[in-house]
Structure 1
């Protein structure tokens, strides 16, 4: 990231905190796809519960990262915000899907929404790379 001016200490701290917090939803939502596939192949309820907790943790950390981003003066292009909201909506929907019992919690909708969430995260990352402004 290149700066045309020196950002304040508050903005630098918010940027660092945002980057740390935003890593957790990326890992959690990506691992949800892995645990969904593991559940699909083994039918062991442990993998379903892992998926539920990963989704919950990802949503919590995404909310914290969004709060830091908004309060810290970090500005992204508007498509980044829209794509990030789509990721949160898909993850929340996926969390509700995963509360069903047995194989219906994962196949076919749970795994499909998990994959769509990861694709939406990739699109969000693309929009985030377009440009970042600090105020």
Structure 2
């Protein structure tokens, strides 16, 4: 009886395992990474300049939502997505001229936005931060380089 049970069970378990692996791969989003050279300014602090820096932009699309993240030093860390949750209201800013997203924290009202102009591949972003107990907006922009595929 055991060999017959194994003969029936093994092919079915293999099919189930393959479907599980394919399902996990279909649910994951591929991340596109792009380096950018940016320079920031805080307009509320007499246009205080932030030192230029090389950052990396991560772009993901999952379903109808877009997720953007800027990785750099502490001041250049920004996240934005079109996904709306209990904590954040997201907005998709993608059009024929740009790709982008904006998010606003539901309780604090702090906002962040990341946009990439399609024609010039220029990054524009802002992030509301708390500076000495006051909310100020850090804005930065700069050219990006599309990596060779």
Q: TM-score, normalised by structure 1?
A: 0.26
More strand, by proportion: 2
Larger Rg: 2
Q: Quick one: higher RCO (CA 8 Å, sep 6+), 1 or 2?
A: 1
More helix, by proportion: 1
